[in-house]
Structure 1
Amino acid sequence: MNIRPLIAGTAAACALTASMAMAETGTLKMRFVYDSKDAPKVELIEPNKDIAFCGQHDIPNEKLLVDSETKGIKNVLVYVYTGRGGTKLDDVAPKNATHELANDKCRFEPHYVIAQTGDTLKITNPDSVGHNANLNFFANKAENLMIPAGADKEVALEKPEPAAIPVECNIHPWMRAYVVVLEHPYAAVSGEDGTLTIEGIPTGEVMFRVTHEAGKIDEVTIDGEKESWRRSRFELDIKPGMNDLGDVLVPADALSL
């Protein structure tokens, strides 16, 4: 697999290009693994608001979730980077999809919403207590929405955001999720075993960005070789079909609660 870390100067000198032909697309698969003998234990949050309701539910601290058996790291975000020095993509038609973010048992579900410009974020509240959703967007209009029990609110996602945007509930300060708004659909978040898959990627040299809320992922080991991902970005020559990087080992000290 031809993978190269981002090198200063190279990225600034020219942007990468990629073909959008449907016959020339590839799939990226990778699994993020916590490089330690022991996985960190899942911490449960003790609610201090609406205790009668929220206290009925186990609320995990979702900042760092590592599977105890596979050592897979959950909620690693990987996406094609199109910012300065990144990959130039042809325009991708909007899907105008609606994504639900639920206030469910005093936590947000899902933890990450990946959307494309033109999509809509629908924030619902199936709980019997009120919540709010504070979205500190950079490009889109910032919102701080009150959502009574059983109600919902919609937010238009008109512009791409430069990073994953936190969604917080000021009433229940332990609640946090993230909304990712891109101009394209080439993004994914790792599941419980640390695996993620991104389909339909244009072939050729493509730059990816990797983020995790518990720390920077910029020093990794792949196939026994150490890699440095400057600014948590790496370039990959995407071939038609499956491009499987296998296990990406992340040092335990790179991530913390």
Structure 2
Amino acid sequence: MHCLRLKFCLWLLIFSLAGMLTTTVAAAEWGTLTGQFIYTGQVPQAEKLDISRDEAICGKFSDQIVDQGLLTGKNGGLQNVCIYLRESSLDETRIHPDYQNLPETVTIQNKGCIFQPHVAGLWVNRQKLQAENKDLCAHGFQVKGYRNTSLNQVLPPGQKMTHTFEYGEKLPLRMSCSIHPWQEGWLVALNHPYFATSDEMGRFKIKNLPVGEWEFQLWQEKAHYLAARPEWKRGRFKLKITPGENDLGVIKVSPSVFAGK
């Protein structure tokens, strides 16, 4: 009897160690990608846009109705750069479990007669798009799809709508308003959750990428394909993701990248 108990304890110890080893290996299979985009030219002043409709309502927000095509922070940080894994399909085993906790909807608001946020990302397999009109005038919510059916729906004040995309898209989709021609925004709709947009400091972070060599896409609304470095043709680059932190450092973006755009 004592011998059987000893064997049972040994097996428990072996299974526990094996479980710890498996957990350690699994934890080592993910890496985080970070970096910072810095615009090297003179910081441009955002140009005010012509408020040609519903002036009594939208005119109250004239300070925020500006061209957002090239926004930078005080340090020259380039805002609203999209960076994402350029992968049409990704096996579920390569997606970190934490992403299952993402909100079921990604919300775009018509608020102050602009889209808020100006740029957003959505994982089409798990998330729906929700559009809300927070203004006192109607808005025409449009999304131009490539693989997906395009949207064009009028939203009265206080109304909302939800939409499910069928397919991931290779490029960000343009959002616009059929009533207010100055309104513009961008939606990154992908078959996976590995995307980010740079903040007002130009910083971005994509958490828990699967280790291995992957190709990434950079896109910015004024430059389109953002070839921030000479070797990044069409805004694409390959990188081997290793466990833990993977930092691209400061990525300097020259004004020449936007020339002719």
Q: Following TM superposition, by how much is the alpha carbon of 1:219 offset from its aligned partner in structure 2, in angstroms? A: 4.2
Equivalent in the alignment of 1:45: 49
Equivalent in the alignment of 2:79: 74
- Tell me if the contact between 2:78 and 2:201 (Cα under 8 Å) persists in the aligned partners: yes
Equivalent in the alignment of 1:62: 68
- Tell me if the contact between 1:21 and 1:202 (Cα under 8 Å) persists in the aligned partners: no
Aligned residues: 226
Q: Following TM superposition, by how much is the alpha carbon of 1:89 offset from its aligned partner in structure 2, in angstroms? A: 3.4
- In the alignment, the residues of structure 1 paired with residue 50 and residue 142 of structure 2 have an alpha-carbon distance, to the nearest angstrom, of 21
- In the alignment, the residues of structure 1 paired with residue 174 and residue 190 of structure 2 have an alpha-carbon distance, to the nearest angstrom, of 15
Equivalent in the alignment of 2:189: 181
Equivalent in the alignment of 1:31: 36
- In the alignment, the residues of structure 1 paired with residue 66 and residue 33 of structure 2 have an alpha-carbon distance, to the nearest angstrom, of 30
- Tell me if the contact between 2:144 and 2:151 (Cα under 8 Å) persists in the aligned partners: yes
- In the alignment, the residues of structure 1 paired with residue 180 and residue 131 of structure 2 have an alpha-carbon distance, to the nearest angstrom, of 16
Q: Following TM superposition, by how much is the alpha carbon of 1:78 offset from its aligned partner in structure 2, in angstroms? A: 0.3
SS state at 2:60 partner? coil
TM-score in terms of structure 1 length: 0.83
Equivalent in the alignment of 2:177: 169
- In the alignment, the residues of structure 1 paired with residue 245 and residue 49 of structure 2 have an alpha-carbon distance, to the nearest angstrom, of 40
- Tell me if the contact between 2:140 and 2:154 (Cα under 8 Å) persists in the aligned partners: yes
Q: Following TM superposition, by how much is the alpha carbon of 1:21 offset from its aligned partner in structure 2, in angstroms? A: 4.6
Q: Deviations over 1:12-57 (max 9, x none)?
A: xxxxxxxx95531111001111112x21111122311100111111
- In the alignment, the residues of structure 1 paired with residue 162 and residue 228 of structure 2 have an alpha-carbon distance, to the nearest angstrom, of 39
Determine which structure has the larger strand proportion and give its number. Answer: 1
SS state at 1:99 partner? strand
- In the alignment, the residues of structure 1 paired with residue 161 and residue 90 of structure 2 have an alpha-carbon distance, to the nearest angstrom, of 32
Q: Which residue of 147, 150, 154 maps to 1:142? A: 150
Q: Which residue of 188, 201, 211 maps to 2:219? A: 211
- In the alignment, the residues of structure 2 paired with residue 123 and residue 22 of structure 1 have an alpha-carbon distance, to the nearest angstrom, of 37
Q: Deviations over 1:104-160 (max 9, x none)?
A: 000000111211123211100010000011111122221101000010111112211
- Mapped pair 1:202 → 2:214: no
Q: Which residue of 229, 237, 246 maps to 2:240? A: 237
- In the alignment, the residues of structure 1 paired with residue 72 and residue 142 of structure 2 have an alpha-carbon distance, to the nearest angstrom, of 27
Where does the alignment leave 5 or more consecutive residues of structure 1 unmatched?
1-19, 221-226
Larger radius of gyration, structure 1 or 2?
A: 2
* Moved >4 Å (runs of 4+): 92-96
| Aligned AA (2:51) | P
* CA RMSD after TM alignment: 1.9
- Mapped pair 1:250 → 2:253: yes
- In the alignment, the residues of structure 2 paired with residue 98 and residue 241 of structure 1 have an alpha-carbon distance, to the nearest angstrom, of 29
TM-score in terms of structure 2 length: 0.82
Where does the alignment leave 5 or more consecutive residues of structure 2 unmatched?
1-24
